[in-house]
């Protein structure tokens, strides 16, 4: 029992370490030490990846493979690193504050490392649905962040729009895998619950956003505010229901997890 408790402590403790690396990266980013900022971001991403893999390995198949409050910061750091490797360092480094904000939010507000789970969630399509859905959320949120960031910097860039396109693609794949999951678990392609309604609402919102670019008078500045509206929709419908009140006194209490 003691050995099991120690092993289950590893994913969350390594997440704390990853968060410290992210905070160090943000500090060096503010100090304009971009080299050190990228190094600590890479270290944080590596440790965070170990945390995610170990957590899913230790708790499989007793919970969903992905827990959004802990997985979203990984997605943001991965997006940041991809942009840096794509020679878009300024945009990649500018996402670091988003990584830190959501990492600290997971530590302070998340209800726990364990996701909700039922026997009908044992289908691999359940985990693919959550994976693609959370990646889509990360693309939508980072796209909104970059859109507002570029407005305040008085720059016009296509990266926020590209992020939304990628997010919409993952959202479509999540919907397809969700239908297969419903068919495997409930013998129907659609389960009309609140989570499905939320996913459909987000899909329709971004579908409408992408069609707005067919208008002649449409510009990137207007689009930035619409992207921000979609991000607020994602936060309200999907992210906030997964976190609870602040639990700072017990944040390092392993019994919480």
Q: Express each pLDDT in 139-157 by its tens digit.
A: 999 999 998 887 777 666 7
Residue 67 pLDDT? 79
Predicted model pTM: 0.84
| Segment 28-64, tens digit of pLDDT | 999 999 999 999 999 999 999 998 888 777 665 555 5
Query: What distance in Å separates the CA atoms of residue 167 and residue 72, rounded to the nearest whole number?
Result: 13
Per the CB < 8 A criterion, the answer to whether 243 and 108 are in contact is no
Query: What distance in Å separates the CA atoms of residue 110 and residue 250, rounded to the nearest whole number?
Result: 11
Confidence of residue 128 (pLDDT cuts 50, 70, 90): confident
Confidence of residue 129 (pLDDT cuts 50, 70, 90): confident
> Comparing 237 with 137, which gets the higher pLDDT?
137
Per the CB < 8 A criterion, the answer to whether 34 and 92 are in contact is no
Q: What is the mean pLDDT of the segment spanning 135-140?
A: 95
Residue 253 pLDDT? 43
Average pLDDT, the chain: 81
Residue 257 pLDDT? 38
Residue 6 has pLDDT above 50, yes or no: no
Q: What is the mean pLDDT of the segment spanning 8-31?
A: 91
Compute CA distances 22 → 42, 62, 106, 112, 163, whole Å: 9, 29, 13, 21, 22
Rg (CA), the chain: 19
Residue 90 has pLDDT above 70, yes or no: yes
Residue 33 pLDDT? 93
Listed residue (43, 51, 39, 40) closest to 13, CA to CA? 51
Listed residue (216, 233, 213) closest to 160, CA to CA? 213
């Amino acid at each position: 029992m003691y050995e099991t408790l120690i092993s289950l402590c590893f994913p969350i403790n390594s997440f704390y370490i990853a968060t410290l690396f992210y905070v160090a990266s943000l500090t060096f980013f503010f100090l304009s030490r971009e080299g050190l900022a990228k190094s600590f971001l890479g270290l944080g991403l590596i440790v965070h990846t170990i945390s995610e893999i170990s957590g899913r390995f230790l708790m499989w198949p007793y919970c969903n493979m992905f827990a959004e409050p802990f997985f979203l910061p990984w997605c943001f750091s991965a997006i940041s690193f991809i942009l840096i490797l794509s020679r878009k360092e300024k945009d990649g480094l500018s996402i670091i504050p988003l990584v830190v904000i959501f990492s600290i939010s997971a530590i302070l507000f998340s209800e726990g490392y364990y996701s909700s789970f039922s026997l009908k969630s044992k289908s691999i399509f359940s985990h693919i649905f959550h994976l693609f859905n959370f990646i889509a959320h990360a693309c939508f949120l980072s796209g909104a962040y970059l859109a507002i960031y570029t407005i305040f910097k008085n720059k016009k860039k296509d990266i926020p729009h590209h992020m939304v396109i990628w997010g919409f693609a993952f959202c479509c794949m999540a919907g397809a895998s969700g239908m297969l999951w419903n068919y495997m678990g409930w013998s129907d392609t659609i389960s009309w619950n609140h989570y499905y309604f939320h996913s459909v609402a987000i899909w329709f919102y971004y579908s409408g956003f992408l069609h707005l670019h067919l208008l002649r008078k449409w510009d990137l500045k207007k689009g930035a505010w619409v992207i921000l509206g979609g991000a607020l929709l994602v936060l309200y419908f999907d992210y906030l229901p997964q976190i609870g009140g602040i639990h700072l006194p017990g944040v390092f209490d392993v019994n919480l997890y």
